[in-house]
Amino acid sequence: MDLRPPGTPRQRSERVRHAQLAVPFALIAAVTVVDILAPPDVHLGPFLVAAPALTASFRGPRITAFVGLLAVIAQVVVSAVRTTLTDLNHTFQTIALIMISVFVTLFAYLREEHEKELMQLRSVAETAQQVVLRPLRDRIGPLRVASVYLAAAAEARIGGDLYAAARTATSTRLIIGDVRGKGLDAVGEAALVLGAFRAAAHQEADLRRLVDYLEGAVAPDLYDSTALDDEDEGAGPRAGEDEGFTTAAVLDIPDDEPVLHLVSCGHPPPLLLLREGRAVPLEVARPSPPLGLAGLVDGPVAAQTFAFEAGDVLLLYTDGVLEARDRAGDFYPLTERVAGWSGLPPQAVLDHLCADLLAHVVGSTLGDDAAMVAIERLDRPRRP
């Protein structure tokens, strides 16, 4: 049985809007009737101001002006019934009501224009992000894959979370990452990283060389040489001066070996959901710096190998999952929660995770976008 409320979300929203609009009309009617029936020394006319002020908070300037006009007409009717239209007290009440109605109508106009700008910005950012972040296929070689992207509900603050997959002749390569920052700049940086990954994932035989290629693609855009002072010319970029970077986990999963190879560039460790009901973080011994900061740290890129048996599920995620807080300010306990979902297929794991994550932040919102990818090896690889 479907327990969801009838109608589409848009229809339900319209019903709510109509119900809200009934409140100021009911307020005008109630104040008018009570004011007419009240004793001579009781004046309820000033309460009519609440009607247009309330309307301005959820409707546009036209409806607000209309409600304000009705409130003024109601005030005039009360004046005519109780005293005369020239009564000084009611005259000042009417003038004040007209002034406030004009003011809140202007407020409603400015709010509506601001909302239109935000909607346009978010629409542009979401469109750009959808073009950049292509959906992953359900089956990639011997892997079953599911992915999801949860956007933080914060105006047009689209983030730079990213993921992608590519096939080679003998393996599947994946990347998940998070660009520092928000908005279209972050989406542009994500497009740069994803473009470099898709271009090189098929060509670079070694995972470490692939990460070096990604670093080379990102690094030239980090610093603006024109911003350097003449006295600092030739000194090179300095850390902490508005550098951009991308945390990332880059993986190579061979078709015929029960393992995966991982390079972590400052990214949260993937979780391996084992069939016996455990969730194991894949912590690398030598993590690399985030993409774009490798030039500030000496040392080669290191890849580490982990077991990845048939039936195991690998969960990749961005820090928006870990940073989700409840009303008490507690972070989401990801490892503890996903351990109970081992044995489920990837899509079911993500369905449970999304529902549980949103339940954790009920009454609040995600502070950052969250991207998640779940991967299951379907068949037992052939051992050499």
pLDDT tens for each residue of 324-378: 888 888 899 999 999 989 889 999 999 999 999 988 987 666 778 889 999 999 8
- Of 133, 209, 174, 163, nearest to 377 by C-alpha is 174
pLDDT band at 128 (very low <50, low <70, confident <90, very high): low
Which pLDDT score is estimated for 236?
Answer: 46
Which pLDDT score is estimated for 58?
Answer: 87
Q: What is the largest CA-CA distance in the chain?
A: 102
Alpha-carbon Rg of the chain, whole angstroms?
30
pLDDT tens for each residue of 232-252: 444 444 444 445 789 999 999
Mean pLDDT lowest among 33-37, 125-129, 274-278: 125-129
Q: Give the number of other Cβ atoms within 10 Å of residue 82's Cβ.
A: 17
257 by DSSP, 3-state: which?
Answer: coil
**Mean pLDDT (the chain, rounded):** 82
CA distances for 80 relative to 31, 34, 357, angstroms:
15, 15, 59
pLDDT tens for each residue of 63-122: 999 999 999 999 899 888 887 767 778 788 889 999 999 999 999 999 898 888 877 766
Which pLDDT score is estimated for 12?
Answer: 57
pLDDT tens for each residue of 311-328: 899 999 999 899 888 888
pLDDT tens for each residue of 58-69: 888 999 999 999
Give backbone dihedrals phi and psi of 240, rounded to 5 degrees, phi first: 90, 0
Ordered by where they begin, the domains of the chain are: 9-124 (no CATH), 133-223+240-377 (3.60.40.10)
Which pLDDT score is estimated for 227?
Answer: 42
Average pLDDT, integer, range 16-43? 85
Mean pLDDT lowest among 150-154, 202-206, 275-279: 150-154
Higher pLDDT, 163 or 189: 163
pLDDT tens for each residue of 262-310: 999 999 999 999 877 889 999 999 899 999 886 666 667 889 999 999 9
Average pLDDT, integer, range 144-173? 82
